[in-house]
Structure 1
Amino acid sequence: MLGEHTYALRATWTGDRGGGTTGYRDYDRSVSLEIEGKPPVLGSADVPFRGDAERWNPEDMLLAALAQCHLLSYLHACVGAGVVVTGYHDDAIGTMTLDGRGGGAFREVVLRPVVTVAHASMVAAAEAAHRQANEWCFIANSVNFPVRHEATVQVAD
């Protein structure tokens, strides 16, 4: 499946308190992210940057995109390898370093998927499928920091 795919999104700042951006503390960091045909995602800045803890921030969404992309790529790799996955969860963690000049960057993301497979004979192939998933993941291939995997494979009861 070759070709180019285009994605469209509207990001709308909804945090004007009536005075616009007259000062750093004078506006909310509230954002609505909308894609046609999908429910909106309510976003904000991270709490240390005067954001709303109840809304998704860009750092959350980057981590979520990496974890979900790996999960979906992994399931596809498992089908091709004859591995029957019956459960999957990932407690992913990302580390961002601030540069002291108002910017910063992610240093790394560690995905920690715990995968349950149907039979013990599938464990080795299930472990190998993580390498294939990492090669296929569009998001991991688009970032400039390492995305590591500390995977656990277990067998269903």
Structure 2
Amino acid sequence: MKKHQYKSQVVWEGNTGEGTKNYTSYGRDYTISHAHKPPILGSSDPHFRGNPERINPEELLLSSVSSCHMLWYLHLCSANGVIVLSYSDDATGVMVENADGSGYFSEITLHPKVLVKDLKMIAKALELHHEANKLCFIANSLNFKVLHVPTVEVLNDGM
């Protein structure tokens, strides 16, 4: 078994002069840094007094699941002779907030839209989404299922 380690630094930028004196006294902005990579500007969801111009942890989780699935999917397509010409995903997630303020994601649904080179590739292209889900490191780390509603189209000869 191989183990991989990752490092991330999160620095809170929300002290407006009073620290966390009360719920409304501080900002939710922060910066995520990884060595030699551009910073990610984060905040909490606007429902929780966050900055709507910054990405929030819930969006990061959703995009992590979506991008992990995509990367495994593209790998599997390349290994199985499926030529993908374009890929996009309009992923959605549902977070449930409990009465005590805690919460959890109950589901994430990926909606990958794939364009393949040849009509004969469509069946295999659809099948490989299931395999990508089984291999995705992020999906395997969650305590809920990740659903998939893929669309695969073939390149039109007139394009």
Give the structure-1-normalised TM-score: 0.98
For each residue in 1:46-80, what CA deviation from the matched residue of structure 2 results, as whole angstroms up to 9, or x when unmatched?
Answer: 00000000001000000000000000000001011
Residue type at the aligned position of 1:75: L
Aligned to 1:79: 78
Q: How large is the Cα RMSD of the aligned pairs? A: 0.6
- Once superposed, which parts of structure 1, at least 4 consecutive aligned residues long, lie more than 3 Å away? none
Aligned to 1:139: 138
Q: CA deviation at 1:87?
A: 0.7
Within-5 A mapping of 1:13-92:
13-92=12-91
For each residue in 1:27-59, what CA deviation from the matched residue of structure 2 results, as whole angstroms up to 9, or x when unmatched?
Answer: 000111000100110000000000000001000
Aligned to 2:149: 150
- Consecutive unaligned residues in structure 2, runs of 5 or more: none
Aligned to 1:108: 107
In 1: Cα distance, 2:7 partner to 2:66 partner = 21
Paired residues in the alignment total: 156
In 2: Cα distance, 1:66 partner to 1:97 partner = 18
- Consecutive unaligned residues in structure 1, runs of 5 or more: none
Q: CA deviation at 1:105?
A: 0.3
Q: CA deviation at 1:81?
A: 1.1
In 1: Cα distance, 2:13 partner to 2:80 partner = 47
Residue type at the aligned position of 1:94: G
Percent identity reads 45
